[in-house]
Amino acid sequence: MKRLARILGFLLLAALGAILLMSFGGGSFTAHMIVHMGIVAIAAPLIAYGLRGTVFDLPDRVGMTPMLASLVELAVVWFWHLPALRAIAEASIALSLVEQASFLVAGILLWQACFRPNEGRLAGTIGLLFTSMHMTLLGVLLALAPRPLYGGGEVTCFGISLPAAADQQIGGVVMLMVGSIVYLLGGVLLLAGVLRDGDGLAVEKRRC
């Protein structure tokens, strides 16, 4: 199962890299957000799960807690969405690749920290729910901004011309929907596991 998760994660990563290269130069924030959310919310958890128990299981090595990992991802995500940084990344394919690589590293760290078994799962629930909150907040800010924060005029999103304001709103909705749903679902599933194990432990105690 872990091997399959790794393979699927890296295949998705390759596909997202191809999308980044094909859409680069169009100025589309929506295309950027599709790649970004695909990396942190889909590829990263697959790869993180696939690397559990290997030498690449980083949180155990560096003492990374789920909450700290969530704060690291918050800093990385909000940093790269500052208008000045977005403009620089949009002008350089090399910097765009660095940006997406930083999203991948932060995402894998977060999901690995939250996938830690036993006592780490409750902390993982809190970390994922906090991440869902800050992803939702940024998505709302981008979708409801009264003017485009990243350039102006027309942009090209997968061959379709859009006003920059509409493109940013669509990108914000992508972040809002994917970010809130995936991280919230992950947190709920971890919490369900904690509660299920707690019920099982209570049953065992009563039997004893």
CA-based angle 120:125:128, to the nearest 5? 115
pTM of the predicted model, to two decimals?
A: 0.87
Does the pLDDT value for residue 199 go beyond 60?
no
Give the whole-angstrom CA distance, residue 71 versus residue 133: 12
Q: List pLDDT tens digits, range 124-157.
A: 888 899 999 999 999 999 999 888 888 778 888 8
DSSP 158: T
Question: What are the tens digits of pLDDT across the range 26-49?
Answer: 889 999 999 999 999 999 999 998
- Positive or negative, the CA dihedral 118, 178, 34, 29 is negative
